Structure 1
Amino acid sequence: MVNFTIVNGQVYTPGLAIVDAPQPNTPLGGDNLQVAIDVSGNGQLPWPSTSDSSTRFHSITLFLTSQSKSHNFTISNGTKPASNSSYAYPVLDLEPSSTVKHVNWIWPECFVGDGSGSKDSARGEYNISMHQAFRWNDTDYYTVFDLPISVTNSISSSDDRIDCDLLENKLLTAAEIDESSDTLPGQPWVEGASTTSSPGAAETGIGSHFHAGFKRIVGAMFAVTAVLHLLDSSCSPCPIACSRQPEQPIDPMTLLSARRALRYRLARALILILLSWSLIELHLIQHRIYEAENTQLTPRKERIYIASVNWNNEQVLRSHWNKAVLNLVSELGAENVFISIYESGSYDNTKGALRELDWELDKLGIARNVTLSSVTHQDEIAAPARGDGWITTPKGNRQLRRIPYLARVRNLSLLPLQDLARKGIFFDKILFLNDVVFTPSDVFELLDTNEGDYGAACSLDFSKPPHYYDTFALRDSIGHEAIMHTWPYFSSRVSRSAMKRISPVPVTSCWNGMVAMPAKPFLDHPPLRFRGIPDSLAQLHLEGSECCLIHVDNPLSEKGVYLNPLVRVGYNGAAYAAVHPIMSWLSAWRIVQGTWTNRVRRLGDTAWLKGEMIRRRIDRWAALDAKHQEDGQICIIDEMQILHRYGWIHV
């Protein structure tokens, strides 16, 4: 029997602690087990408390227990650990100034894997067992509360994980736990509430979360109705029937007042409808987010060719990227992966970071090609201006265009693909990896987009959340740029609706940090390759991203190009953490604000005007020569971009 009370998404324990995360019956994995505990009783208990307080904590200890697996692992036992990778610090000592304690416990070695594991595996159904010693109204209590979770999501191997035997304790029986646990007369922070009993997970997890949210909506609607009714009774004038006697002519002022009353009632009804609509929409979106982010994923068995281009990104390579790549290939298996890395003349020590990665990949027996080029941007710019990719700027200078250069470098990362094919070695998908912070779980989620059936699937990238990063390549389902840089991003009804459902978003183009594409078109004759728009078209102050044009040229784009909102990557650790909080990545305020901002912006959307201006330039260019043809109009913007020694610039 599982006992807990859920109010507004918070789990009220038989004690003073309130669990903010995880929710009951959540499938967990990743690098750490994360538990968020409110020790302030939602602001009702002063923190920190004094020793003479009538209500205060003595201690909180946490264990991970499973009767079916016969395990009892220490998460936090109230003492300081010898190392950060063993057990967590005493809960009440964490973040001294905060009333919410965030426990981050590194999964031990026996949990590495995916799914429920074999019969002998430690993975499976568990309880986060919270032992609380506390004083409530001058009476001391000791309670044990079990929060059911499942360890079924992917957990990658890491040197930080310790042997599970070092954390193992004697497993207490249910009778022993009940005997040691006190019974409270009620729940301290929920007036009149008693602990709810539920025989199964289905009745306590998402269902309770949904109904709690529905109660909030209904309560808010009643409050709004009451306020408007009060205003109506105190401000609205008396109707005509109350203000005139029979057989008397209607006073013009009375008629005017009646019309005002009617307009007021209509306005009141409209406000109530809009508020109700917003509240219901908010709850539905939050419900979909909860469902989507707590769905168990089984990784697909596919062979993956990983392609990456690197330039001046030593910092993120050393801090996150190298380790993430090693974890990813370990989970994919050496027999299922090939890595092609092209470094393009960096000025920092990116080469050194990639050499270190190369050594580690060699230890794992990973097939790979790592090219470290000595040709810098300055060398490229100083070369004679011959062939394609050069343009005359408004000042009359011949300059190297940025996009054809990037297309050429990306194509170099694909060269081993053809060599391997000639040897009879083929791959199902190509994973294009930017210099982003990611986890293997992100990659598996991306590969599973639309059940693995797509022409391309992209992550959503962030550098300074909540604003997404790659505006150059992203186009909605009708080929328009995003109407805003924050959620829900799009003006297209199809793309916007999918984003609100937190399902794969149909788009015409995307890149956004991490992209999966079927490998077959890249081995066709002729093979699919990155490109820029023709130099003669770029001369009209136009440019298009090579990462957008690839989707225009890809014959499999007709299967669908999707942006997956469940896969969010960052260009630094802080950005990644911001879009992967313990609770939902979209707050209620951001949902409401984003929804209405999007509606207002759509009213004044001028995308058609920009598109018309670009179309006219393309038409003028096409009229100059019968051979002039460009199918990638959706990718083209009003810019001229040239390569610079330290990056690129607009001219």
Structure 2
Amino acid sequence: MKLDSLSPCLPKHRPRPDDYFLLHTSTRTRHADPPASPIPAAARLFASTAVLTLLAAIPLCVFFHTLSSLFIYLSLVLFALPVVSFWIVSWHRGRRIAVACVYMLFLLWTWRQMQEDLSATSVVSSSGSSGARTDRKVFIASNLHNNQHVLPYYLAALQQLVQQLGVYSTYVSIYESHSTDRTKPMLTALDHDLSNLGVQHRIRMDDAQTKVGLGQHRNGRIEFLAYVRNVALEPLQQLWDQGQRFTHVLWINDVFFKPHDLVALLETDGGRYDQVCAMDFIGNGFYDVWVTRDRRGRTARRAWPYFAAKQEQQALRKGEPFLVNSCWNGATAFDARWFVRSNTTSPQHPAPRDTLSTNDTQDVNANTREPALHLPLRFRTSPRCFSSECQLLSLDMHRAVSPRRPRIWINPRVAVAYERRTFWQYTWLERWWVTAPWRSVWRDGIGMWMTQWYAFWPDLCGKWLEGWAAGDAPLAAKPYALSPRVG
């Protein structure tokens, strides 16, 4: 009997040594690593990080309506680097999920904190009497027009500000005209709320004065703005004559602001100023460059660090007040004595003009001079050069104490903005501890060097507006002889 028929399970032939070698070689080939990529691993990692950063930065720039290196930094730190780290770190799946969940909770908590810090509801719910002082009485003035987008926050913040200053230590004067949105009914509701709080106030809404809009007669536009500001000031003199002695006048534009910031603004330099301004922002930077002049009379610019002098730049970094020639900047406080009449001053209340100025086609009219100085101060136009009524008010303070310098400050710790998202950017994101490396390395270093070309605002009226104090002029002592004293 053959062996094959007895053992059908036995191999047909005896394997040779070469067969084992071929089997081992084929198995090793099947499990070998794929061929190396021609792109180095570090380059792939860098490219992935750059793409992820760009994908996250684009929505941020769209949301905030501006391009900023801050958004690139945040996209890198908060999105791209965490994603790449999760990708390359050899963690088991459960640990990856746990870390990712914790990180997402951190981002959600941060977003929630930012919204609560800057929302109108948090403004109303914060403490209401921390800034009340018996030696301070504040006249708050505003001009509003088509501001329904900001009024929900503005009105809540205003009421909280009044409570912090003290309801019996404030007066609110608002003048509104020519609004076509819901501004008028919203101010009617504010009138009711202030009455319930026991706050003295006057909210005047009328369309009597002919409105001059943007793009129309330029000096006529300034003339209109000067008129509406003077209307908002009217109750101050009436109350003063009745024995109510206000220490400060606080002007608030249609801006987003924090109530405690404006309390801090009022307390700048111990309240011993003639004028102090916040800093107002739009998406691409500092807004009120038309009005602002540094103490040497130079203009500002939109981009950081906004001012040319090292002294002002250092003060900005430290958040310390610094002297300027003029400012307004969305929120500004004055010594109230500049706006009230006493026995040492003659009344001057400009009446509304029915005709527009003729100097609307040129910036400079060298054949005229600035009008004689009158106290108390009022907003006015310039017959000599196309200038803001706000800048001319600062100029008149210089003229009143010449050759010395009035105490006009900017407090950079107080920031206001005209859009909610811009308010988030400049009061929260740029001051967040996470963005500290961006501030020190980019904003104050590389970025500042790269934006040296960024132009300062042209000063068309610099040599035509006379009366500014010299850059090294000493501060005028207070109280001034021309300024009425608080009785």
- TM-score exceeds 0.5: yes
1:472 is matched with which residue?
290
Match of 1:53 among 87, 93, 101: 93
1:589 is matched with which residue?
442
For residue 530 of structure 1, what is the amino acid of its counterpart? Answer: F
Match of 1:575 among 395, 417, 422: 422
Report if the CA contact (8 A) 1:299-1:448 is conserved.
Answer: no
- Counterpart secondary structure, 1:361: helix
| Displacement after TM superposition at 1:347 (Å) | 2.3
| Displacement after TM superposition at 1:57 (Å) | 7.0
| Displacement after TM superposition at 1:426 (Å) | 1.3
Report if the CA contact (8 A) 1:91-1:103 is conserved.
Answer: no
User: How do 1:48-197 and structure 2 match up within 5 A?
Assistant: 52-53=92-93, 55-56=95-96, 94=105, 102-104=111-113, 157-158=124-125
| Displacement after TM superposition at 1:332 (Å) | 1.4
Which stretch has the larger CA shift, 467-476 or 444-453? 444-453
Report if the CA contact (8 A) 2:277-2:409 is conserved.
Answer: yes
- Closer, same or farther: CA 442–579 of 1 in aligned 2, 3 Å: same
Counterpart Cα distance in 2 of 1:490 and 1:40: 34
- Closer, same or farther: CA 594–454 of 1 in aligned 2, 3 Å: farther
1:492 is matched with which residue?
309
| Displacement after TM superposition at 1:368 (Å) | 0.1
Match of 2:137 among 297, 300, 303: 303
- Closer, same or farther: CA 511–106 of 1 in aligned 2, 3 Å: closer
Match of 2:246 among 427, 441, 446: 427
- Closer, same or farther: CA 59–476 of 1 in aligned 2, 3 Å: same
Percent of paired sites with the same residue = 30
Report if the CA contact (8 A) 1:476-1:490 is conserved.
Answer: yes
Structure 2 residue ranges without an equivalent (≥5): 1-76, 346-374, 471-487
Report if the CA contact (8 A) 1:488-1:594 is conserved.
Answer: no
For residue 335 of structure 2, what is the amino acid of its counterpart? Answer: P
Report if the CA contact (8 A) 2:173-2:201 is conserved.
Answer: yes
Report if the CA contact (8 A) 1:498-1:506 is conserved.
Answer: no
Deviations 1:313-333 (A, max 9, x none): 121112x11111011112112
Deviations 1:306-361 (A, max 9, x none): 0001112121112x111110111121121111000000222222111211111111
Counterpart Cα distance in 2 of 1:434 and 1:573: 14
| Displacement after TM superposition at 1:54 (Å) | 6.3
- Closer, same or farther: CA 399–492 of 1 in aligned 2, 3 Å: closer
Counterpart Cα distance in 1 of 2:418 and 2:275: 21
1:327 is matched with which residue?
160
Report if the CA contact (8 A) 1:309-1:410 is conserved.
Answer: yes
Report if the CA contact (8 A) 2:280-2:329 is conserved.
Answer: yes
Match of 2:409 among 545, 555, 562: 562
Deviations 1:114-147 (A, max 9, x none): xxxxxxxxxxxxxxxxxxxxxxxxxxxxxxxxxx
Counterpart Cα distance in 2 of 1:49 and 1:102: 27
- Counterpart secondary structure, 2:196: helix
- Closer, same or farther: CA 55–158 of 1 in aligned 2, 3 Å: same
- Closer, same or farther: CA 377–309 of 1 in aligned 2, 3 Å: same
Does residue 505 in structure 1 map to residue 319 in structure 2?
no
Match of 2:299 among 464, 481, 485: 481
For residue 527 of structure 1, what is the amino acid of its counterpart? Answer: P
Report if the CA contact (8 A) 2:141-2:250 is conserved.
Answer: yes
1:518 is matched with which residue?
335
Report if the CA contact (8 A) 2:377-2:396 is conserved.
Answer: yes
Does residue 437 in structure 1 map to residue 256 in structure 2?
yes
Report if the CA contact (8 A) 1:477-1:495 is conserved.
Answer: no
Counterpart Cα distance in 1 of 2:469 and 2:405: 17
Counterpart Cα distance in 1 of 2:447 and 2:114: 34
Report if the CA contact (8 A) 1:462-1:468 is conserved.
Answer: yes
- Counterpart secondary structure, 2:143: strand
Report if the CA contact (8 A) 1:468-1:486 is conserved.
Answer: yes
- Closer, same or farther: CA 512–399 of 1 in aligned 2, 3 Å: closer
- Counterpart secondary structure, 2:380: coil
| Displacement after TM superposition at 1:501 (Å) | 3.3
Counterpart Cα distance in 1 of 2:210 and 2:163: 34
- Whose strand proportion is higher, 1 or 2? 1
Match of 1:551 among 394, 412, 433: 394
| Displacement after TM superposition at 1:103 (Å) | 4.8
Counterpart Cα distance in 2 of 1:500 and 1:314: 34
- Counterpart secondary structure, 2:244: coil
Report if the CA contact (8 A) 2:124-2:156 is conserved.
Answer: no
Does residue 405 in structure 1 map to residue 224 in structure 2?
yes
- Closer, same or farther: CA 327–429 of 1 in aligned 2, 3 Å: same
- Closer, same or farther: CA 460–614 of 1 in aligned 2, 3 Å: closer
- Whose helix proportion is higher, 1 or 2? 2
For residue 561 of structure 1, what is the amino acid of its counterpart? Answer: I
- Closer, same or farther: CA 546–631 of 1 in aligned 2, 3 Å: same
| Displacement after TM superposition at 1:530 (Å) | 1.0
For residue 339 of structure 1, what is the amino acid of its counterpart? Answer: V
| Displacement after TM superposition at 1:632 (Å) | 6.4
Counterpart Cα distance in 2 of 1:547 and 1:375: 23
2:14 is matched with which residue?
none
Report if the CA contact (8 A) 2:294-2:326 is conserved.
Answer: yes
Aligned length: 344
Counterpart Cα distance in 2 of 1:425 and 1:298: 20
2:179 is matched with which residue?
346
Higher relative contact order (CA 8 A, sep 6+): 2
1:631 is matched with which residue?
467
Report if the CA contact (8 A) 2:303-2:454 is conserved.
Answer: no
Counterpart Cα distance in 1 of 2:264 and 2:378: 25
For residue 53 of structure 1, what is the amino acid of its counterpart? Answer: R
- Closer, same or farther: CA 479–594 of 1 in aligned 2, 3 Å: farther
Report if the CA contact (8 A) 2:290-2:457 is conserved.
Answer: no
1:263 is matched with which residue?
none
Counterpart Cα distance in 2 of 1:599 and 1:102: 34
Report if the CA contact (8 A) 1:39-1:99 is conserved.
Answer: no
Report if the CA contact (8 A) 1:468-1:485 is conserved.
Answer: yes
For residue 144 of structure 2, what is the amino acid of its counterpart? Answer: N
- Closer, same or farther: CA 449–42 of 1 in aligned 2, 3 Å: farther
Structure 1 residue ranges without an equivalent (≥5): 1-36, 61-89, 109-154, 162-296, 382-392, 619-628, 635-651
Counterpart Cα distance in 1 of 2:206 and 2:410: 32
- Counterpart secondary structure, 2:379: coil
Please report the TM-score for the alignment, with normalisation by the length of structure 1: 0.47
Counterpart Cα distance in 2 of 1:420 and 1:39: 57
- Closer, same or farther: CA 469–504 of 1 in aligned 2, 3 Å: same
- Counterpart secondary structure, 1:354: helix
Could you say which structure has the larger radius of gyration?
Answer: 2
| Displacement after TM superposition at 1:606 (Å) | 10
- Closer, same or farther: CA 345–487 of 1 in aligned 2, 3 Å: same
For residue 480 of structure 1, what is the amino acid of its counterpart? Answer: R
- Closer, same or farther: CA 47–328 of 1 in aligned 2, 3 Å: farther
- Counterpart secondary structure, 2:421: helix
- Closer, same or farther: CA 597–40 of 1 in aligned 2, 3 Å: closer
Report if the CA contact (8 A) 1:461-1:468 is conserved.
Answer: yes
Match of 2:377 among 509, 528, 540: 528
Report if the CA contact (8 A) 2:275-2:407 is conserved.
Answer: yes
